[in-house]
Chains A and B, each alone.
Chain A
Amino acid sequence: MPTDRFIEFHGVTKSFRDPRGGTIEVVLPLSLGIAEGEFVVFVGPSGCGKTTVMRMVGGLETPSAGAITLQGREIAGPSREKGMVFQSYSSFPWLTVLGNVRFGLKYRRDVSAADKERIARRYLELVKLTPFADFYVNRISGGMRQRVAIARTLAADPLVLLMDEPFGALDALTRERLQQQLLELQKAERKTVIFVTHDVDEAVFLADRIIVFSARPARVLRDLRVGAELPAERTLDIQETPAFRKLRHEVLSLIRAEEERTEAAELAAAS
């Protein structure tokens, strides 16, 4: 059993200044450990701060207090160690599909030029886009573009893969297929993944572990080790099993209760 020391949150908080001069607490002191190779999904009511938590891991936001460490070293800013896949199609339109994947290797000094080409083609093959290597990304579908973004990020060989609702803009069928492919990829590459979503089915299907956040300011409501309760072999069929439904129900009720609670609080504040 790997220890939860790969990524650690030490009393991390985040607050933003609001336009009227006050401060908005986004994240309450958060202490959490994530193990290497774990697939962790953050869920929570919309606007709860789960994305902010993930962006702090990516070094794209700085904690207001506390620190996040990766392999014991404090995260000071964005780097190739923390790969990120966004919801919007962030593949570069001026590059072809292969060019985008190559870009992931552009700043790697640990591999030779010949190896870069080989690695780029291997990841292209892994996301099943080899036939589209020479297409510009504006010519391919949204699902394919997200596969390009995933391949590009993996080609950079990050220690952790951060995914911010990457399948949020896709249709249901494409999303299911990509979820499966992502799991296969993660198994093969043994990457640590932090995945943000508000889709509970997606969360239960993908996760080894689900962290349910409260409404803003975010704190951990429940830390669910899903891996033990669901079969290691995840096929779409497991969505029909009692264990899956039970987990799904548990997570959904938590989020619903949170949303009702905030709604009531907002109403009270307004009247």
Chain B
Amino acid sequence: MSRGLDRAGTVRAVGPDVRDPVATASKRAAAEAGAGAGAAPPAAPRPASPWRDLFRFRARTRSDVEVWVGILAFVIVIAGWLVATELEFVQPQFLPSPLAVVEAWWGLFQNDYHLDIGISIGRVWVAFGLAAAIAIPLGVLMSSYRAVGAFSEPLIDFVRYLPVPALVPLTLIWFGIDEGSKVALLWIGTFFQLVLLIADDAHRVPKEFIETGRTLGAADRALMKDVLFRAMLPNMVDSLRITLGWCWTYLLIAEIVASNSGIGYELWTARRYGKTPEVFAGILTIGIIGLVSDQLIRAGHRRAFRYLG
């Protein structure tokens, strides 16, 4: 008895339920338990349902199915939110309805919100770019040459444990209230974390790769460029993706404390006037930007490192 045949037969048997994945999965499992070689012959081979794999221990399923499940989570949260506010379980002062938030959003965009978003993204990318541009070569060198590593690791570890908000006064004194202080704060917040992650990525490249490179005639520079860097690249991109998220955290701190533009500034202003819908709109804006950039980097990762698959 072939599995495909069995599944195809069962799909026909539970045909009316296919729109409801959960019910289908359980019914199909029940139907399949009873179905044997005598199941209806397949009219046309249909692909086995990927929905059931969602409920199997450590099973993998199709990526488009996972996207739909992810969307389902958002739908459930928003629906719950809508119910809670429309039935007035909570006061709008604490939890405004989603519709009020959308309205607030619309109002913000009427008021040049896109400029604030642009400024915030710009700050993050400038600071993050500067952090990465220094952290990548330094991290590689730290793991490759103990002189660099032993010299800089204790210092970096020290700075890394300083809470970033504690440095806000310093950045203001040093760089004033212009863009300089924000970029500096974000840079401090990301660089010291990133450089250690990069050094660790370089460190985890298998010794055999390096030794293979050496016995094929690569000198130090060539080893770093052609073997070490290539081998660590996928993990490094992941490290960058994770620290980019942290960078956004520090952005909000910087914009709340001393700024007159950006998402964080608008968010804090809204709070001051008790405009809860606008606060929610600000939070959601950051969430959406984070989600989109994370997904873009992940997609780029999959494309660039297809050889890992």
List residues of chain A with CB under 8 Å of any chain B CB. 58-60, 77-80, 82-84, 86, 88, 90, 92-94, 103-104, 106-108, 136-138, 149, 152-153, 156, 158, 162
Contact = CB atoms under 8 A, between A and B. Distances in A.
Contacts of A108: 217
Contacts of B208: 86, 88, 90
A58 B215 contact: yes
A152 B307 contact: no
B18 interface: no
Interface in B202-231: 206, 208-209, 211-212, 214-219, 222, 226-227, 230-231
Contacts of B212: 84, 86, 90, 92, 149
A149 B309 CA distance: 20
Chain A interface secondary structure, helix, strand, loop or mixed? loop
A79 B216 CA distance: 7
Given A90-B212, A92-B231, A106 B307 contact: no
The 3 closest A-B pairs by CB, nearest first: A80-B217, A107-B217, A78-B214
B215 A153 contact: yes
Q: Main SS of the interface on chain B?
A: helix
B307 A83 contact: no
B216 A60 contact: no
A104 B209 contact: no
A138 B307 contact: yes
Interface of B: 206, 208-209, 211-212, 214-219, 222, 226-227, 230-231, 233, 305-309
A111 B226 CA distance: 20
B211 A93 contact: no
Contacts of A59: 214-215
A60 B309 contact: no
A79 B227 contact: no
Contacts of A136: 306-307
Given A88-B206, A90-B209, A106-B226, A156 B217 contact: yes
Contacts of A92: 209, 212, 227, 230-231
Contacts of B231: 92, 94
Contact of B222 (A84, A94, A107, A149): A107
Contacts of A88: 206, 208
B169 to A, nearest CB: 46
A152 B211 contact: no
A104 B216 contact: yes
Nearest to A82: B215
B307 A94 contact: yes
Nearest to A80: B217
A108 B218 CA distance: 10
B227 A60 contact: no
Nearest to A105: B216
Contacts of A83: 215-216
28 contacts: A59-B214, A60-B211, A60-B214, A78-B211, A78-B214, A78-B215, A79-B217, A80-B216, A82-B215, A83-B215, A84-B212, A86-B211, A90-B211, A90-B212, A92-B212, A93-B307, A94-B230, A94-B233, A103-B226, A104-B216, A106-B216, A106-B217, A106-B218, A106-B222, A107-B222, A149-B212, A156-B216, A156-B217
B259 to A, nearest CB: 42
B307 A153 contact: no
Nearest to A89: B208
B216 A152 contact: yes
Nearest to A91: B212
A1 to B, nearest CB: 30
Contacts of A156: 215-217
Contacts of A77: 214
Given A80-B216, A92-B212, A153-B216, 13 more contacts: A58-B215, A60-B214, A60-B215, A78-B214, A78-B215, A79-B217, A86-B212, A90-B206, A94-B307, A106-B216, A137-B307, A138-B308, A156-B216
A136 B234 CA distance: 15
Given A92-B230, A94-B230, A94-B233, A107 B214 contact: no
Contacts of B218: 106-107
